[in-house]
Chain A
């Protein structure tokens, strides 16, 4: 039987706050000394509850606001007060708790991390260990459809900022004991929870090992979002091309894991990373799998065509105007000449100006308050575009080409950054060297892309190297029943997905 009192430390806020004395080292056996150390570190934030457990003095400490106080009474205090029998070790105390998750801490560093993560710590006099109890009360966003991955048909659930919720969403889909989760903390200050998830009977152990190694080698003060890790997981650190897959939806993450990929989930981020990554992944949409096969193929081809239009059309327009006007049919040439007459800019400068205008509008629309969105689109698209033409700054064909290129760019939302930069580069080369420059740059880029692998998976697979089997879900999209194997391009220890026609595994 124990007694229970509560004390809140209300020490005054000081302007010249000295550097906090962070407790370090092993937890001592003296409760008063341990508490004094924690007091010095957390001062006013720390809430302490004194309790007697099995005749021993104990303290439950936590930070106000981070924990659910009701949970402390219900799942910690009440069971401990009612505890009968021996409470000699911290393990005994743990056994009396009604919490599913409690962790034993040996050092003050562990306590520091746990306390900041919203855990309640139980310190007992005479014990050189503490118990971290999971009673955190972080408000998490409810599961919603992610704005960038909307689907017409199919699951609408998206990841949230809570790692537990994200892990559970994946677990709900991949209900198998083969689903492995490895957890780690990254960030010297943030101690961000990071989980690696994969199917151990599918994913290549070599890939998992490489990812683990890359993550364990990270020594950074903080990881705020999963994008922080992409740099460390990329084989070419300075490349403009994306090398890590991202998804906001558990169904996509699960589907990728079924293909042998590994998912990396970061606490605080609704974006889950997947590896290995192939460029073609971004040409595929989850909609493809939930709609008609022929339609899916058509849309994939359309997306590929969109890339070509996005990157090449502005550059070609500039090149044709400067060097290859003979290539334009006569009637169209006359139209262009009429439209561009009296412009103050060269075709190259005109296109760069229009491109930059578009990029500025895009950037501004992202940052602008949502209530200004409509006004912004009117000002940006109509007034600026129309007035620029009327003022004789840009020609109507240039605006039209820019608009076309701008729209097609967003058919592949995950590749916007890369292709918008490439577009600028191609315009620059098209303007200085014409078609010849475009040809040279294309070969350069293709060669560059052919040269790199993402954890053993060729970046341009299954087109190059050509994997016939993988083409069933490459540019083409076969019926699910025909996809009997996992992608060959992705290292895997189990290549077969389903029985084939002959009922063989």
Chain B
């Protein structure tokens, strides 16, 4: 029996995917390419991403029981479908690597003076190994619970630094021209493509009790929160934003409010640690699902779990320097691959839907003809 989650749970998973990569390193990286217009740039990127949401959402409503494998393999065959799954697994894995590295740097910067590498790697590897054994329903439920924590984290990091905003930092708008927006979007490709999660969730959303509009609403809410966060980042740091790699901790430390109310920055740090660990585990879970789908369940169920756990641990050990990971995800090769997957998968789905429809009609015609005769 297929694992089914409610549209509300799917919305929570999408919400997590949208906010996952955009809060830590991306504001600083984006400032490098888009200057002070990063909030416009991120809005541009989110709108582009939403185009893919439309396709996924339409497909998921139209064929609520069809998985990505069912949709693609019917038209393109199993080999192409498996390649798509491997590509998805790759993207999810890279995203997880980035988050796990970002988390390491984040907690080192904020929580610890020193934290031996083993003490960071072993607990998270154990958690990953445990979590990867769970099913989609468990993840959905888990994220539903943590949504409160994550919402608190976002609200805190948007409201707390509000006093430190300098409105002059917003002007002049579009100083580097409109092209700065797609430029920032392109080079920060690693932070977008959030709706790929929906590709994995296709066929697993149960619309029998709800229409599923929450998926659209939550996407808009998440997008608005992100734009607000980026605007606050610009407002607080202005041109200095390039140097604020760890936007979250830097924002909370620079804010006036924590100093008067107490150490609220620690609250943000604590809440965000939950968010980041959960997001990392989630991406690896999607990665595992894609590997399992690509191998059409022929391998032992523990094999992908062991492989992913070992790979992520190796990556964490090998790529100790976050700049190396940042260099990897902002490289032209990665950007090209990422965008071809972000837009290629929904395009393939669209083609499969159209071809499927045409085949269906021609089949109907064939069936009807002898009846007329």
CB-contact partner of B123 in A328, A436, A466, under 8 A = A436
Q: Contacts A439-B277, A465-B9 given: A323-B111 contact, CB under 8 Å?
A: yes
Pairwise interchain contact A440-B119, C-beta atoms closer than 8 A: no
> Which residues of B171-215 have CB atoms within 8 Å of chain A's CB atoms?
none
CB-contact partner of B142 in A323, A440, A450, under 8 A = A450
Bound: A442/B145 CA distance, A: 11
Pairwise interchain contact B123-A437, C-beta atoms closer than 8 A: yes
Q: B2-14, CB under 8 A of A: which get 1 and which 0?
A: 0000101100000
A460 at the interface (CB under 8 A from B): yes
Pairwise interchain contact B131-A439, C-beta atoms closer than 8 A: no
A446 at the interface (CB under 8 A from B): yes
B273 at the interface (CB under 8 A from A): yes
* A465 contact set on B, CB distance < 8 A: 6, 9, 140-141, 144
Q: B93-131, CB under 8 A of A: which get 1 and which 0?
A: 000000000000001000111010001100110110011
CB-contact partner of B145 in A432, A436, A464, under 8 A = A464
B134 at the interface (CB under 8 A from A): yes
> Which residues of A336-392 have CB atoms within 8 Å of chain B's CB atoms?
none
Bound: A440/B113 CA distance, A: 19
Pairwise interchain contact A439-B141, C-beta atoms closer than 8 A: no
Pairwise interchain contact A460-B273, C-beta atoms closer than 8 A: no
A324 at the interface (CB under 8 A from B): yes
CB-contact partner of B277 in A323, A329, A440, under 8 A = A440
> Which residues of B254-275 have CB atoms within 8 Å of chain A's CB atoms?
262-263, 266, 269-270, 273-274
- The bracket for how many chain A residues form the interface is 20 to 34
Q: Which of A436, A458, A463, A466 has the most CB of B within 10 A?
A: A436
B158 at the interface (CB under 8 A from A): no
Q: Contacts A443-B278, A466-B8 given: A458-B141 contact, CB under 8 Å?
A: yes
B281 at the interface (CB under 8 A from A): yes
B138 at the interface (CB under 8 A from A): yes
* B113 contact set on A, CB distance < 8 A: 323
A15 at the interface (CB under 8 A from B): no
- Give A465's nearest chain B residue, CB to CB: B141
CB-contact partner of B111 in A324, A442, A451, under 8 A = A324
Pairwise interchain contact A447-B263, C-beta atoms closer than 8 A: no
> Which residues of B9-35 have CB atoms within 8 Å of chain A's CB atoms?
9
* A443 contact set on B, CB distance < 8 A: 127, 131, 142, 146, 274, 277-278, 281
A403 at the interface (CB under 8 A from B): no
Bound: A435/B270 CA distance, A: 7
> Which residues of A428-452 have CB atoms within 8 Å of chain B's CB atoms?
432-437, 439-440, 442-444, 446-447, 450-451
Bound: A327/B277 CA distance, A: 21
- The bracket for how many chain B residues form the interface is 35 or more
- Give A439's nearest chain B residue, CB to CB: B273
* B6 contact set on A, CB distance < 8 A: 465
- Give B120's nearest chain A residue, CB to CB: A436
Bound: A450/B273 CA distance, A: 20
Rounded to whole Å, the gap between the CB of B13 and the closest CB of chain A is: 13
Bound: A434/B278 CA distance, A: 18
Pairwise interchain contact A464-B141, C-beta atoms closer than 8 A: yes
Q: Contacts A443-B281, A447-B131, A465-B9 given: A433-B123 contact, CB under 8 Å?
A: yes
Rounded to whole Å, the gap between the CB of A211 and the closest CB of chain B is: 23
Bound: A465/B9 CA distance, A: 8
CB-contact partner of A460 in B8, B139, B145, under 8 A = B145
- Give B140's nearest chain A residue, CB to CB: A465
CB-contact partner of B138 in A442, A451, A463, under 8 A = A451
Q: Contacts A440-B124, A443-B127, A460-B141 given: A434-B274 contact, CB under 8 Å?
A: no
* A436 contact set on B, CB distance < 8 A: 107, 111-112, 115, 120, 123, 273
Rounded to whole Å, the gap between the CB of A445 and the closest CB of chain B is: 10
Q: Which of A327, A432, A447, A464 has the most CB of B within 10 A?
A: A447
- Give B270's nearest chain A residue, CB to CB: A435
* B263 contact set on A, CB distance < 8 A: 327-329
Bound: A443/B131 CA distance, A: 9
Pairwise interchain contact A466-B274, C-beta atoms closer than 8 A: no
Pairwise interchain contact B140-A447, C-beta atoms closer than 8 A: no
- 24 CB-based A-B contacts, threshold 8 Å: A324-B112, A432-B119, A435-B111, A435-B269, A435-B270, A435-B273, A436-B115, A440-B124, A440-B277, A443-B127, A443-B274, A443-B277, A444-B130, A444-B131, A446-B142, A447-B138, A447-B142, A450-B145, A464-B141, A464-B142, A464-B145, A465-B6, A465-B141, A465-B144
Give me the interface of A with B, judged by CB distance under 8 Å: 323-324, 327-329, 432-437, 439-440, 442-444, 446-447, 450-451, 458, 460, 463-466
Give me the interface of B with A, judged by CB distance under 8 Å: 6, 8-9, 107, 111-113, 115, 119-120, 123-124, 126-127, 130-131, 134, 138-142, 144-146, 262-263, 266, 269-270, 273-274, 277-278, 281
6 smallest A-B Cβ distances: which pairs? A450-B141, A464-B141, A464-B144, A327-B266, A451-B138, A439-B273
Beyond the given pairs A440-B126, A447-B130, A465-B9, 7 more chain A to chain B contacts, judged by CB atoms under 8 angstroms and listed by A's residue number, are: A327-B263, A435-B273, A439-B270, A439-B274, A439-B277, A447-B138, A451-B134
